Amino acid sequence: MILNQYLAKAQGVGVHVELLSLSDLNRRLEALVDELKAKSVALPLIGWPEPLLRTVKTEVEKCGSATVSPRRRMDGSYEWNRSALGSANLGITFCGAFIAETGSLAFPSGPGLGTLASLLPETHLALSCAKDCRPDLGGYLAEFGADIPSRLTFVTGPSRTGDIEASMTTCVHGPGRVLHWIITGDFS
Amino acid sequence: MSPIVPNFRKASREAVRNSQVIAAVRKTANLLSGMMALAVANTPDFEALRNYGRTRKLEISGDLEKYAQSFAANAQAAGAVVHRAKDAAEAARLAIKIAADNGAKTAVKGKSMTAEEVELNEALEAAGVTVTETDLGEFIIQLANEKPSHIMAPAIHRSRAQVAELFTDRLGTPPDLSVEALVAAARKELREKFLAADMGITGGNFAIADTGAIVLLSNEGNIRMATTLPRIQLAVVGIDKIIPEMADMPKFLALLARSAAGQTISSYLSIVTGPRRAGEEEGPEQLHIILLDNGRSRIAKGPYREILHCLHCGACLSHCPVYRAVGGHAYQAVYPGPMGSVLSPLISGLEIYADLPNACTLCGRCAEVCPVCVPLPDYLRDLRSDVNKPPLMMKMAAFGAHTPSLYRLGMIAMRQMLKKGVKGLMAPALKEWTVCREPPEPQAGESFRDWWKTRSHGQ
C-alpha cells in the first residue's frame, strides 16, 4: 500500500524506481555498469545487509570497475579519498529508509556511511529492501528521538535547476540520474 | 547600507520600459504561480496547514527570544558555535573573524537572502576571502556583477542568450550554448571550487529550537556540497527562521515547498545538527551559526509582527501585479515584492524606503497565496499612513466628507470648477493626481443628490 504510494511519488519526481529480486541484481548491475562505462564506482561499505553488499561488491569488481570507499584509519575513524571520489562515474549506496509521502530517499551520516557517494557522481543508484518504506517524513524523523545524526539528508529526484529561463534542467551539482532498486523478498 | 538612495517611482518608470526583462520576469512568475496552484490543489488539507502555520508562528513571534535561546543552547550542545548578531554590521564582523581565525581564504556559498541583508560577500571579499556563489542563478548574477531580482529565482531577469554571452565572456565557453550546456559548464567550474574551498556559507530555511538543527532546502545540490565538503561551515540565520520542534518541520516544509516552486519537497533536504562527529568521514570540522536580529526583535514587538512569519517562499512576488510589471530590481532593496515592501522599510527605515508601501495596488492577491497568511495589504496600507501623516488639505477634505452640509457645498463648488476647467484654479492642487489620470468631464444638468430628492418625492 505505502510502497505503491512511494512508487507513484518517486516516479513523479524523476527517480527511476524498480522492484527486483536479489537474484536479478547481478544481471541488472552488470548492464548498468556497462551502459555507463563506469571506470570507478563510489561504494560505501558500512550499513548494508550482508548478502546485498556481497552481491554488489562482487558484481562491480567482476565488471572491472575500481571502487572508492571511505577508508578506515588506525584510530577507527573513516576518511574519503576525495580526488578518487570526485572522479567516480557512479555512486551506489544502501538506503535504509525511503518515504512514501514525498518519494524521498533518506541518508543519515555516520562513520563509514559515505553519503557523498549519493551526491558527487553523475549517476546514483540506491538499493533498498521493500520493508524499509516509511509512510511519512514526520514519522521517520520521530524514529531518531533526540539522537539525530550530524547530517540527515533526503534525496528526492535528481539535482535540478530552473534558474535559466525557468527551463527545468538536471545534473547541476549532484547526480542527473537517480535510480532506486527496491529488493523484494526476505534475504537479510 | 546601499550607496544609492532608493527611489521606486523613478526606478519603476525605467523598469516598465525594459520589455526583455519584464517578459522574462512574467514567464518565470507565471510558471511558478502555475506550479504552486497545482501543488495546492493536490493538497486537500492545505488551508488547515496554513492555519497551523499562522497559529504556530504567532506563538513563536510572541516569544522570539525564548526560542532563540533554546535554539542556541541546543545547537551548542550539538557542537556548533552560536554567535548572536544584533545588526548586519556585527554579523559581517563575526563572519570575517571566523574566516580569519581559521585561515579561510576561499568560500563557496549557497543562496541566502539573510547573507544579502548582511552584505556578507562584500564584507568577506574586503577582508580577502574569495566567495563563490554556487546556486546557478546566484552564480550567474555574481558573474554579471548584479543583485538578485527575486528571492527564489535570483536571475529571473536574464535570458538564456544573455547567460550564454556572459559565460563566453567570463568563463570562455563556446558562444550561444543551450541551457543544458550552460548548466554543464557551471557544474564543471563549480565542482572544483567546492572541493577546494576552506569555508561553506549558507543561510537556513528553518532552525529547530529543540534540537539545534539547521534545515536547508535546495534543488541543485549545492547546499549539500557546501555543508559537507569544506572544513568550516558558516550558517547565517535570521532569528525569525526558528521553529519550536523537529515535529513542526515537515508541516512548514510542506507549506514552503508547495508555495515556492509547487513541490512537495525540494530535491535535497539537509538537516544539519552540529559539525562532523567522531569517526565520520564527512562534514565540517567546525559549524558556526550566526543568529541575526537586525531589527527582528523590534518588529516582533510592533504592529507589523506577522511579517516575521514569512517563510521567504516568494509566492507573493510571483503573484503581485506590481512586481510582475517592474521586476525585482526596481525595489532597490534586498527583499522585493509585497513581503519586501513591508520588510525592507521595517529593517532599514521607512525614511529610506518610503516609496515601497505605495508599490502595491491593494489587490490582495499576496495575502491570498501567503502560506502563513501574513496580512500584507493591511500592513502596506498601514505603512502608508506611517509615511504620510495626512496633509492639511486631506484632513479638511475628510472633515468635509463627514459633514453633510459641507459635503453638499463642496460638491457644488467642485462642479463649478470642473465646468470652468481644471487648467484654471484647481490645476496646481490636482497636479499629482492628474499626472497619470484625466480629470472627470463636468456633468450636465442636475446633481445626483438633486435628482434623487425629486425621484423619492415622486414615489
CB–CB of B246/B211 below 8 Å? yes
- Enter the DSSP assignment of B333: S
State the nearest Cα–Cα gap between B448 and chain A, in angstroms.
53
Q: Give the pLDDT score at B392.
A: 83
Q: Whole-angstrom Cα distance, residue B5 to residue B171?
A: 33
- Which pLDDT tens digit goes with each residue over A92-106? 999 999 999 999 999
Q: Where are the domains of chain B?
A: 66-297, 392-458
Which residues of chain A neighbour B282 with C-beta distances below 8 Å?
Answer: 80, 109, 114-116, 151
Instruction: Inform me whether the C-beta atom of residue A110 falls under 8 Å from chain B C-beta atoms.
Output: yes
- Which pLDDT tens digit goes with each residue over A105-116? 999 999 999 999
| Other Cβ atoms within 10 Å of B458 Cβ, number | 6
- For residue A40, give the nearest of A70, A69, A71, A65 by alpha carbon: A65
Cβ within 8 Å, pair B190-A173:
yes
Cβ within 8 Å, pair B211-A146:
yes
Instruction: Inform me whether the C-beta atom of residue A49 falls under 8 Å from chain B C-beta atoms.
Output: no
- For residue B246, give the nearest of A144, A156, A151 by alpha carbon: A144
Q: Whole-angstrom Cα distance, residue B265 to residue A157?
A: 10
HSE-CB of B333 using CA atoms within 13 angstroms? 29
Instruction: Inform me whether the C-beta atom of residue B77 falls under 8 Å from chain A C-beta atoms.
Output: no
Q: Give the pLDDT score at B397.
A: 84
State the nearest Cα–Cα gap between A130 and chain B, in angstroms.
22
HSE-CB of B277 using CA atoms within 13 angstroms? 17
Which residues of chain A neighbour B78 with C-beta distances below 8 Å?
Answer: 150
pLDDT category, B456, cuts 50, 70, 90?
Answer: confident
pLDDT category, B4, cuts 50, 70, 90?
Answer: low
CB–CB of B329/B11 below 8 Å? yes
CB–CB of A59/A85 below 8 Å? no
CB–CB of A56/A181 below 8 Å? no
Q: Whole-angstrom Cα distance, residue A178 to residue A14?
A: 8
Q: Give the pLDDT score at A188.
A: 59
State the nearest Cα–Cα gap between A160 and chain B, in angstroms.
5
Length of chain B: 459
Q: B73 — phi, psi (to 5°)?
A: -65, -45
What b/e string do you get for B442-452 counting C-beta neighbours within 10 Å, with b at 16 or more? Answer: eeeeeeeeeee
Q: Whole-angstrom Cα distance, residue A104 to residue A156?
A: 4
Q: Which range scores top for mean pLDDT: B8-22, B322-336, B362-376?
A: B362-376
Which residues of chain B neighbour A180 with C-beta distances below 8 Å?
Answer: none
Q: Whole-angstrom Cα distance, residue A166 to residue B293?
A: 33
Picking from A13, A148, A158, the nearest residue to B273 by CB comes out as A148
CB–CB of B212/A146 below 8 Å? no
CB–CB of B292/A124 below 8 Å? no
B446 pLDDT more than 90: no
Length of chain A: 188
Q: Whole-angstrom Cα distance, residue B224 to residue B270?
A: 7
Pick from B22-31, B119-128, B276-285: least confident: B22-31
Q: Whole-angstrom Cα distance, residue A16 to residue A178?
A: 6
The dotted CATH code for B66-297 is 3.40.50.10420
Picking from B137, B224, B250, the nearest residue to A163 by CB comes out as B137
Q: What is the DSSP string of B156-203?
A: TT--HHHHHHHHHHHH-PPSS--HHHHHHHHHHHHHHHHHH-SEEEE-
Over range A13-18, report the average pLDDT.
97
pLDDT category, B394, cuts 50, 70, 90?
Answer: confident
State the nearest Cα–Cα gap between B408 and chain A, in angstroms.
56
Task: Cell numbers for B22, please give them.
Answer: 519584464
Structural domains in chain A, CATH included, are 2-156+177-184 (3.40.50.10420)
Over range B201-224, report the average pLDDT.
97
What's the predicted TM-score (pTM) here? 0.91
Residues 234-263 of B with CB under 8 A from A: 246-247, 249-251, 253, 261
Q: At what angle do helices B179-196 and B160-171 cross, to 10 degrees?
A: 40
Picking from B179, B220, B229, the nearest residue to A159 by CB comes out as B220
Q: Give the pLDDT score at B1.
A: 43
Burial class (CB in 10 A: 0-12, 13-18, 19+), B227: buried
Over range B414-442, report the average pLDDT.
72
pLDDT category, B2, cuts 50, 70, 90?
Answer: very low
Q: Whole-angstrom Cα distance, residue B95 to residue B83?
A: 10
Which residues of chain B neighbour A141 with C-beta distances below 8 Å?
Answer: 246-247, 249-250
The nearest alpha carbon in chain B to A151 belongs to B272
Q: Which range scores top for mean pLDDT: A73-87, B157-171, B284-298, B439-453?
A: B284-298
State the nearest Cα–Cα gap between B270 and chain A, in angstroms.
5
Amino acid at position B275, single letter: P
pLDDT category, B230, cuts 50, 70, 90?
Answer: very high
Q: Whole-angstrom Cα distance, residue B426 to residue B25?
A: 40
| Other Cβ atoms within 10 Å of B70 Cβ, number | 17
Q: Report residue A59 CA to chain centroid gap.
A: 17
Mean pLDDT of chain B: 92
Q: Whole-angstrom Cα distance, residue B81 to residue B258?
A: 32
Q: Report residue A167 CA to chain centroid gap.
A: 27
B422 pLDDT more than 80: no
Cβ within 8 Å, pair A156-B136:
no
Cβ within 8 Å, pair A104-B283:
no
Cβ within 8 Å, pair B271-A155:
no
Q: Which range scores top for mean pLDDT: A178-182, B24-28, B326-330?
A: A178-182
Q: Whole-angstrom Cα distance, residue B43 to residue B53?
A: 15
- Which pLDDT tens digit goes with each residue over B98-125? 999 999 999 999 999 999 999 999 999 9
HSE-CB of B142 using CA atoms within 13 angstroms? 21
| Residues ≥6 apart with Cβ < 8 Å to B441 | B418
Which residues of chain B neighbour A112 with C-beta distances below 8 Å?
Answer: 279, 281
Task: Cell numbers for B59, please give them.
Answer: 506563538
Amino acid at position B390, single letter: P
Amino acid at position B176, single letter: D
Cβ within 8 Å, pair A173-B249:
no
State the nearest Cα–Cα gap between B299 and chain A, in angstroms.
31
- More confident site: A113 or A168: A113
Which residues of chain B neighbour A80 with C-beta distances below 8 Å?
Answer: 281-282
Cβ within 8 Å, pair A78-B279:
yes
Mean pLDDT of chain A: 95
Instruction: Inform me whether the C-beta atom of residue A157 falls under 8 Å from chain B C-beta atoms.
Output: yes
Q: Whole-angstrom Cα distance, residue B290 to residue B95?
A: 8
Q: Report residue A79 CA to chain centroid gap.
A: 19
Instruction: Inform me whether the C-beta atom of residue B219 falls under 8 Å from chain A C-beta atoms.
Output: yes
The nearest alpha carbon in chain B to A149 belongs to B273
CB–CB of A15/A103 below 8 Å? yes
- Facing residues of B290 across strands? B83, B236
Cβ within 8 Å, pair A156-B137:
no
HSE-CB of B82 using CA atoms within 13 angstroms? 25
Cβ within 8 Å, pair A173-B267:
no
Residues 1-30 of A with CB under 8 A from B: 9, 13
Query: If DSSP codes are grouped into helix, strand and coil, which group holds residue B454?
Result: helix
Pick from A123-132, A162-171, B106-115, B385-394: least confident: B385-394
Picking from A115, A146, A163, the nearest residue to B155 by CB comes out as A163
| Other Cβ atoms within 10 Å of B161 Cβ, number | 13
